[in-house]
Chain A
Amino acid sequence: MSLFEKLNQKAFDLGLPLNVHMDVTYRCNERCQHCYLDHDDHGEMTTEEIRGVLRQLQEAGVFFLTLSGGEPLVRRDCFEIIEYARSLKFHVKLKSNAVLITSKQAARLRSLGVGEVQVSVYSHRPEIHDAITRLPGSLARTLAGIAQLTSEGIKVTLANVLMKGNAQDSEEVHILAEQIGAQYTLDPTITPMLSGDTSVLDLRLPSNELNELFHKSKLVGDVQAFCAPPPAVDEDVLDGYPCSAGHTACYISPYGDLFPCVQFPLTCGNLRHQSFSEIWKDSPQLKEVRSIRARHLTTCSSCGHLGSCTRCPGLAFMEGDMRGPSSADCEKSYVRTGIVSAGMIARQSASANLVQIAPLNFRSESFHGVA
C-alpha cells in the first residue's frame, strides 16, 4: 500500500474529508463548448466567507484543496484566497486556463507554495484549441502562462479533455506536455451541465474513437493490462464503495453549496446556513451516499465489470439514479474490454420492448422499419 493509499484509507476509516474541490467562481474568460457551468455570478461567496469556510475545512482535517472555477483568476481576490489557504497549510492545487498568468503571478504562486496547477489544453493546434474555448488566441496565451509556471518550477499538469473534434490530437498534446516539462492526463468524460441540460453530451466521443484512444500505449500505458477482462467479482468487490465522493471528498460551489463531488450535483447543504462539520456529519444526503456499497447497485451489482469499472455515481445520479449505471462508464468498460456491461443489456432490452409495442399490435409495415 502506497503512502497515498494509506492516507486515503486512514481518512476513510476516520470519516475525514481529505480532499475538497472548491469552485471560487463560475465566471470565466473562455466559453468552452463542453463546459457544464453557466458563466454568471449568482452571488458568489465573499472573500471573508471563503476565509471562514477555509478555516472550517482546516479544522475538519481537509488536506488537499483544489481551487477551481470557472477561471479562478478572474476573481480579484484569488491570490488573497490562495495565500490564506496556504497559511492554513493546505496542499493547494489550482485549476486554471493559465491565460491570465504572468511572470509576476507565477512567481507569486511559487512563493505561496502552490503544489500544482492543472491547465486544460485541448489540442496542440490553435485552430482546434481556440475553437473549443471560443477565445481567439487562447492556446498561445495558455502556453505562455504555462511557460511562466514551469520556469518557476511549479508542477503543471495538462488536462486533455477529449471530445468530438480534438481526440485525434491527444498523442500530440501528450508530446507537447513532455516537451514543456508538464504532466499529462486525459479525460474523455463530458458531463451534463449542472442545470441538467444534456445537449453537451453530443460532444462525447463515439465508441470507435474511444476504442482507438484506449488502444494507444502512449496514452494508457500497458494496453493489454488496460484492456484486460475485468477481475472476478468477489465479496470484497461487493462490499466496496463506488468512489471517494462523500466519503473522503466533497465539492463546494461558489455559492456555498456542498455536493459529494463536482460531478455529483446532489445538494447536501449550504455553508451560508450551516457549518461544514454539521453538513459533513449530519447531512441525510451524504449519509445516503455513504450507505451505498457495490452490492446495493441496481444492475451494476450483477455486472461482470464491477471490479474494474470506473462507474461514476454522480453521472449515474444525473441519469436519474445514484445506484444505477452510468451509461458513459458502461461504454468505457465495453470499449476497453469488448465485454458488454449489464447496464448496456438492460438499456437494450428496455428499448427493444418499446420498439415492439406499436408494430406488433397496430402497423405491420412499421415492423419492417418503414414507418
Chain B
Amino acid sequence: MSEKYVARSKAVASRTLGGEIVIMSAVDSTLFILNDVAAQIWLAADGQTSLSEIVKWNVCEEFEVNPEVAYNDAVEFVDELAVHGILQTSEHPLSPNDTGAAETP
C-alpha cells in the first residue's frame, strides 16, 4: 500500500464556529462542516505527516475506533475533499510553499 500525504489547500475559506470547523471550497463553493474526527484530520493535514500517522495519532488515540476502519474512512474523506480542491493529496510529502498547510486553518 502506498503512503498518502495530505495538505490543506490555499483555495478554501475556513472558520471555527461554535466549536465546529466550517470549510468552503473556492473552486466549486462546496461547503463542509467537519465532525470531530474529520476536524482532527483537517488540522493535522500539514503535507508532511502521512495519513496513516494522522489516523494513528490523531484519530485512534483520541477516539475508540478500529484502526483499519478509521484509515479507510479517512481515505474516503480526504479523497472527497481533494475532489473539491479543499485538500491536496500526494504519495510524497508536500511542501508548505505549494499548499496552505502552513497557515492557520
Chain A positions near chain B (C-beta within 8 angstroms): 3-4, 6-7, 10-11, 13-14, 16, 18, 58, 61-64, 87, 89-92, 113-116, 153, 155
Contact = CB atoms under 8 A, between A and B. Distances in A.
A114 B26 CA distance: 6
A61 B29 contact: no
Contacts, number: 56
B103 A14 contact: no
A113 B29 contact: no
A63 B22 CA distance: 9
Contact of B17 (A11, A90, A91, A155): A11
Contacts of A10: 17-18, 20
13 contacts: A3-B31, A6-B33, A10-B17, A10-B18, A18-B17, A62-B15, A63-B15, A89-B12, A89-B105, A91-B26, A113-B11, A113-B26, A115-B13
Contacts of A92: 13
Nearest to B25: A115
Contact of A115 (B18, B29, B105): B29
A4 B13 CA distance: 14
Nearest to A85: B13
B25 to A, nearest CB: 8
Given A87-B103, A153-B27, A155-B29, A63 B18 contact: no
B40 interface: no
Contacts of B20: 10
A113 B100 CA distance: 11
B17 A14 contact: yes
Interface residues of B, number: 21
B24 interface: yes
Most buried by A among B12, B17, B20: B17
B33 A7 contact: yes
Contact of B26 (A11, A62, A115): A115
Contacts of A116: 29
Contacts of B14: 89
A115 B24 contact: yes
A16 to B, nearest CB: 6
Contact of B104 (A13, A61, A89, A114): A89
A87 B103 CA distance: 8
Contacts of A3: 31-33
Contacts of A91: 13, 24, 26
Contacts of B28: 155
Interface string B32-56: 1100000000000000000000000
A192 B28 CA distance: 35
Contacts of B29: 115-116, 155
Nearest to A11: B17
A318 to B, nearest CB: 32
Contact of A4 (B17, B18, B31, B105): B31
